[in-house]
Amino acid sequence: MGIIAFIIILCAMVVIHEFGHFIVAKMLGIAVETFSVGFGPRLFGFRIGDTDYRFSAIPLGGYVKFRGENMELLQGKSEGSVDEFLSQPKWKRFLVAVAGPVFNIVTALLIPTAAIMIGFQDDIYNSQQVVIGEVTPGSTAEQSGLQKGDRIVAFGNQQNPTWAYWRDRVITNLGEDIPLSVDRNGQVINLKLRPRIETRGKEPYGVVDLEPPLTYIGVAQVQKGSAAESAGLKPGDRITAINGAPVTGWHQFRRVIQEGHEVTLNVQRGQETLTIKGSPQKHGEDYLFGFTRRFETTMMKTDSLARALRFGWDSNIRVLSLTGEVFQQIFSGQRSARESLAGPIGIAQHTVSAYEIAGWAGVIELMGLLSLNLGVLNLLPIPVLDGGVILLLFIEWVLGLIGLTLTMNFRERFQQVGFVLVLLLMGFVIINDSARLVERWFDKPPAQEQQKK
């Protein structure tokens, strides 16, 4: 189902993109010869007017073919009719070129907008202001002067940041100081925080060892054969104390577990209060109790279209901001392009993971993120992409101001350069994805053997 979800969202994103080109071209009187869902040989379809609406053999996207596109003119196949693409005025060609990315970006805006109007469960802390519940002893957070009970009133350039904003900024920070202000018992104190760098897989992340205030740790799933299962822990349980000490945070719980000794847990199960005991199991260098956390959630819903649109806008600005930060770090050498960029195989893996974790809701959320990236990527001034078409139109307009025209030879060379660049990029991400897949495959058996021991 995860693979089917990947094919569906990939087709949906590309078809939405191509439909943008298609519908605007139709409205402007430009002839569309083919609208295809999928690539390769035609399987079936129908014709309305001059347009062949078809389903093709390879279900990984789609395309629109206009009459009189660049390569047709270069090959001498133009009929010179008024409805050919290159026979249109520049403003019409611009609208057709920009329509595809705009449809993707609008889709990315509408998905979170619709989600919050329908209603969805979200981590309760994502929308709450940062109030510190626990600071790990010896951590960079403690060294920066942060304390339990501090309320973050400024973080970088953001006033009264939420936990979602805090996590976004921390995770993309690679060891740089961040100015912040805290409200401590009514007094505002200015501090500087430098996240530590942690490598997950081979990709670096910024980490700050502090948490929101917790009174319990929820149990989502219990792993088979684990200490948690042997102790009698069940999904839905709430762990309220460990070794007699009330729960104040996940790091506190982890510190006790890492001692490797038998622990006594106070557990709230429905209306019952239970006491259970268990000994953590060693896996590699860590001790694990063998359950996954269940985060406290809240219903996110609004009946106001204006608030919903603002939520959709803010969600997409957040994604763009994070993406821009990551690309800046790639170009500056702080982050590896090999570990940060993903192609079709990587996207398929993310889709499968999203489906396994959150079902179709997670897949649709991922579709919004990918649709935004597809729209923005296609606006880049790279030949072959829509941004390249827009760039050519701009060059053509500038040359027209001084009485010159854009030659077909220049158009051909421009498209060839773009085609080579896109092929190189696709080759890089596909080889990169394949290499990571092979690495994970060879890393998997030792991990399984270690768990069996």
For residue 280, give the CATH number of its domain: 2.30.42.10
Would residue 405 count as lying in a domain?
A: no
According to the model, what pLDDT value does residue 448 have? 38
Do 20 and 38 lie in one domain? The reply is yes
Predicted confidence at residue 440, as pLDDT, reads 64
Cα angle 331-380-336, degrees, rounded to a multiple of 5: 20
Q: Do 80 and 147 share a domain, yes or no?
A: no
Answer yes or no: is 63 within a domain. yes
User: Angle at CA 315, nearest 5°, toward 309 and 319?
Assistant: 145
Residue pair 18/99 in contact (Cβ under 8 Å)? The answer is no
Residue 25 lies in a domain: yes
Exposure class string for 287-323: b at 16+ Cβ within 10 A, else e: bbbbbeeeeeeeebeeeeeeebbebbeebbeebeeeb
Q: Is 431 domain-assigned? A: no
The C-alpha atoms of residue 168 and residue 297 are separated, in whole angstroms, by: 19
- Do 171 and 206 fall within a single domain? yes
* Same domain as 63, residue 27: yes
Tell how strand 134-135 and strand 32-48 pair up. unpaired
**Helix spans in 193-237 (H):** 227-231
In a domain, 80, yes or no: yes
Q: Are residues 1 and 104 in the same domain?
A: yes
446 is a domain residue: no
15 shares a domain with 98: yes
- Tokens representing residue 82 in the block: 């008024």
Boundary residue ending a domain (260, 289, 318): 289
The pLDDT tens digits for 214-250 are 888 888 888 888 888 888 999 989 999 999 989 888 8
Residue 50 lies in a domain: yes
Residue 172: both structure tokens together: 């993309």
Whether 268 and 309 share a structural domain = no
For residue 221, what is the enclosing H or E element?
strand 217-222
Residue 93 phi/psi, 5-degree rounding, is -65, -35
Angle between helices 344-378 and 408-452 (to 10 degrees): 140
- Give pLDDT, residue 447: 39
pTM of the model: 0.76
Q: What is the pLDDT along the chain (453 residues), one digit of tens a residue?
A: 777 888 888 888 888 998 999 999 999 888 888 898 887 888 888 998 888 999 888 776 788 888 877 544 444 454 556 777 777 888 888 999 999 999 999 999 999 999 999 988 888 888 889 999 888 888 888 899 999 889 999 998 889 999 888 888 888 888 788 999 999 998 999 999 988 888 776 778 888 888 888 888 888 888 888 888 888 999 989 999 999 989 888 888 888 998 888 999 999 998 899 999 988 988 877 888 888 888 777 888 999 999 999 999 999 998 888 888 888 877 877 777 776 777 777 777 778 877 777 777 888 888 888 899 888 888 888 877 888 888 888 888 888 888 777 777 777 777 778 778 877 877 777 787 777 777 666 655 443 333 333
Check whether residue 113 and residue 162 sit in a common domain.
Answer: no
Buried b (16+ CB within 10 A) or exposed e, 161-172: bbbbbbbbbbbb
SS3 155: strand
414 located within any domain? no
**Helix boundaries (H) for 128-226:** 140-143, 163-171
- Domain limit, last residue, from 267, 289, 311: 289
13 lies in the same domain as 109: yes
Domain boundary among 335, 362, 386: 386
Is the domain of 158 the same as that of 189?
Answer: yes
Q: Are residues 173 and 278 in the same domain?
A: no
Provide the pLDDT for residue 452.
39
Asked if residue 272 and residue 244 are part of one domain, the reply reads: yes
Q: Please give the residue range of the domain that contains residue 15.
A: 1-117+303-386
Give the count of domains, the chain.
3
The pLDDT, as a whole number, for residue 72 is 44
